Amino acid sequence: MTVWLRRARPLLGTLVEIGVADQGAAEAAMQAAFAAVQRVQSCMSRFEQGSDVARFAALPVGEGLVVAPETAEVLRAARALQSASGGLFDITLGCAPDGWHCDGHTLHKRAASAVFDLGGIAKGYAVDRAVQALQCLGCEAGWVNAGGDLRAFGPVQVPVLLRDEEGGGVRPFAHLGDGALATSCLGPQRRSQAWVAGSHGVSAHVSVAAPSCLWADALTKVVAASGDARHPVLQAHGARAWLH
């Protein structure tokens, strides 16, 4: 019977939990995984003074700054999804979708109003980086859960529970094996727009399963904005979505 080590820390504005099989250098691997999450937070949180996101917000229009490789990677993914989704995914939250450009590791500001909120993609990326750290240090099975952004790897089945938005408590939804699942709650306006296929109930959550947590996380925003659990962009990333 596998014995699991579990640790949790407050990061990314939520509680990040890591679980791994108790073997070898499991404790050291978990510390490296938490460090990887902290690195993403330091680079991409708009609340962290000196982060790439905070520095970009203060950058004068027409100028550029060098960002961390991790930030550049997330920005490339964000731009690709913005284009593929017809603008449904937008890290500027509508203030300046075309007001920025990332060339390599240099981020250019094209509009004074351009500011970022990477909360809809960076949390999933942080989970991926944590899993990568665990695997690099020899962990064969485990999971990382950052407030509903979950990735599992190896021979493990992680139970997924959802909050019952009407009655309180939680209810079972699925078990996650090797892959990622992200779940977001829909606000009241989105709930009234998003209907569960084949039923007459109003959806309270959107969930997306994908090979990586970056895409699972980001694609929940596309599905929530469109109300379409079969949006064409899902197939391009090997993803599946539920409105429930």
Question: Would you say residue 150 lies in a domain?
Answer: no
Within a 10 A sphere around the Cβ of 41, how many other Cβ atoms? 19
Q: What are phi and psi of 201, to 5 degrees?
A: -95, 155
pLDDT of residue 161: 86
Question: Would you say residue 113 lies in a domain?
Answer: yes
CA-atom Rg of the chain in angstroms: 18
Under 8 Å between Cβ of 126 and 40:
yes
pLDDT of residue 200: 40
91-102 pLDDT, tens digit per residue, is 999 999 999 999
Question: Would you say residue 97 lies in a domain?
Answer: yes
Q: Give me the long-range contacts of 231-238 (CB less than 8 A, separation at least 24).
A: 231/85, 233/81, 233/84, 233/85, 234/208, 236/84, 237/210, 237/211, 238/210, 238/211
pLDDT of residue 239: 98
Domain range enclosing 55: 50-118
Q: Give me the long-range contacts of 163-172 (CB less than 8 A, separation at least 24).
A: 165/204, 165/205, 166/204
pLDDT of residue 179: 97
In angstroms, what CA-CA distances link 160 with 6, 53, 75, 202, 224? 16, 31, 29, 21, 19
Dihedral sign of CA atoms 88, 93, 95, 96 in order = negative
Question: Would you say residue 157 lies in a domain?
Answer: no
Question: Would you say residue 27 lies in a domain?
Answer: no
pLDDT < 70: residue spans in the chain:
165-166, 187-203
Residue with tokens 């962990």: 139
pLDDT of residue 244: 86
C-alpha–C-alpha distance, residues 125 and 147, integer Å: 13
Question: Would you say residue 60 lies in a domain?
Answer: yes
C-alpha–C-alpha distance, residues 138 and 239, integer Å: 27
pLDDT of residue 168: 73
Looking at the structure of the chain, the number of domains it has is 1
Under 8 Å between Cβ of 40 and 149:
no
Question: Would you say residue 178 lies in a domain?
Answer: no
pLDDT of residue 92: 97
Question: Would you say residue 87 lies in a domain?
Answer: yes
pLDDT of residue 191: 44
pTM for the whole structure? 0.91
pLDDT of residue 42: 98
Q: What is the mean pLDDT of the chain?
A: 91
